[in-house]
Amino acid sequence: MEEKIKSVFDLQQQYKFALRKTDAKIRIEKLKKLKQALENSEEEIFDALEKDLRKSRFETAVTELFFTYAEIDHAIKKLASWMKPKSVGKIMSNLFAVNKIYYEPKGVCLIIAPWNYPLQLIMSPLISAIAAGNCVILKPSELSSNTAAVITKIISSTFDKQEIACFEGDAEISTALLKLPFDHIFFTGSTAIGKIVMAAAAKNLTSVTLELGGKSPAIIDDTCDLKKAAEKIAWGKLVNAGQTCIAPDYVLIDESLEAEFIEYYKSAAEKMFFKEGEINKTVYGKIINEKQFQRLNELIRNAIDDGAKLNWSGKVDEESRTISPTVLTAVNADNPIMQEEIFGPILPIIQYQNLQEAIDFVNGQDKPLALYIFSDYSKNQQKIISETSSGGTCVNDVLVHISNPNLPFGGVNNSGMGSCHGIFGFKNFSHERAVVFQSKLGMTKMIYPPYNMGLLKWLKKLL
């Protein structure tokens, strides 16, 4: 397999010089081809995601397909503008020159995708890479194997392998790919694997985009609409059975509101994901595999053994790999459940006595991929925003910031580096090349030797 991968990589290295010459019209046609191929494969996609994650047709349509279609449409609409060289300002020392930024493709790019949104999270960077004029090798996750097979079929039937190729397989395939000197690597997954990817990229001085995760907090103060906050957090936490990188990982709440919030949260979860008192498996997903299922069970058991209170549910069904929505209170901040990303339908709740205490708690952890603020008091909103750091932030909602292609999406430090979506994704897969067109009237000769010390005073005033 390594020889096959190297062969395709070499083909793309040769072809990248032809791709860099393509104009917006040609790239737009490729994006249209991709969208058409996805539309033609919708039934296969619905079936694959139901098998992999027990996603309903509605959830697959909204979070995987429609999201991808919207991103393609946005790129088609904006690409000609993105590709145009951008003029920038002059400086006094080079007053007559014309200065521009050109956007050129990085070359041959590797996209490694995760299993939790296995279609959206491979197609989103692919759209940006195509828009920027790159060759691409895709590596879908082997854990969502049914979706990976559909993706491979779509790519192989739509694009020549010298332009876009897809390799399925386990960590051995990823390892083989990471040995190659790609021009850019885009990785979505855990922080631990992100560090491995970055270390491998460093050997070839390959640029990287890392879309990671972490513990994204939701801070709730005493001015918000608590019922609405609970409903939104329940949806954001439990969609895809909690297997969402920007899901609210835990809640920090004013101590006077905890009991009321839990009742609202339970009510909202039951309304959305239960039927006649039982989990409705037609709308509630399953845990991806046995390893993740057991990891989540162990997190619950360990937290309870460490003094946490099981406030709601904790019910599990090993046969269907279903973990019911679970609420834990009185959680020890040093417990593993508060030290690693949960990535499941378990919600720890931590009380605070004043807002500064909540802010200090967030700042005591690694910087999260997302931070959610529920407050109707603008001073509290601004205080939290100004005193914390996160990849993205939503005020009085969850998850929705990812859906606007006019906003950058990405992490910071342990939650990632680099941004994607819209023009931010286009730039991520482009090299911003500085180009100066010097005028015949250019005055740079004045600074050539032999030096005129009298000129120095004039230049100091000028500059």
Per residue in 284-322, pLDDT (tens digit) is 999 999 999 999 999 999 999 999 999 998 799 999 999
Q: Is the pLDDT of residue 462 over 70?
A: no
Q: What burial class does residue 173 get, using C-beta atoms within 10 Å of its C-beta: 0-12 exposed, 13-18 middle, 19+ buried?
A: middle
Query: Is residue 463 over pLDDT 70?
Result: no
DSSP state of 65: I
Which residues does 411 contact at the CB level (< 8 Å), separation at least 6?
210, 211, 212, 213, 214, 367, 369, 391, 417
b or e along 113-148 (b: 16 or more beta carbons within 10 Å of the residue's beta carbon)?
Answer: bbbbbbbbbbbbbbbbbbbbbbbbbbbbbebbbbbb
CA distance 73 to 363: 38
Residue whose entry in the numeric block shows the structure tokens 């994006």: 31
Extended beta strands in 92-249, E state? 98-105, 108-112, 135-139, 164-166, 184-188, 207-211, 217-220
Write the pLDDT tens digit of every residue in 226-275.
Answer: 999 999 999 999 999 999 999 999 999 999 999 999 999 999 999 999 99
**Domains located in the chain, CATH noted:** 2-212+415-435 (3.40.605.10), 217-403 (3.40.309.10)
Catalytic annotation present for 245: yes
Count CB atoms within 10 A of the CB of residue 289.
14
Q: Is residue 435 within 8 Å of 101, Cβ to Cβ?
A: yes
Which pTM does this prediction carry?
Answer: 0.95
In tens, the pLDDT along 49-106 reads 999 999 999 999 999 999 999 999 999 999 999 999 999 998 766 778 899 999 999 9
* Annotated catalytic residue within 135, 224, 245, 394: 245
Q: Which residue do the tokens 């990405």 mark?
A: 410
Cis? peptide before 450, omega within 30° of 0: yes
How, if at all, do strands 207-211 and 416-417 pair?
Answer: antiparallel
CA 1 from centre of chain:
29
Distances (CA, A) of 432 to 54, 160, 428: 42, 27, 9
Picking from 41, 45, 288, the residue whose alpha carbon sits closest to that of residue 147 is 45
Per-chain mean pLDDT for the chain: 95
- pLDDT higher for 309 or 454? 309
**Which one is catalytic: 50, 71, 163, 211?**
211
Q: Does residue 420 carry a catalytic annotation?
A: no
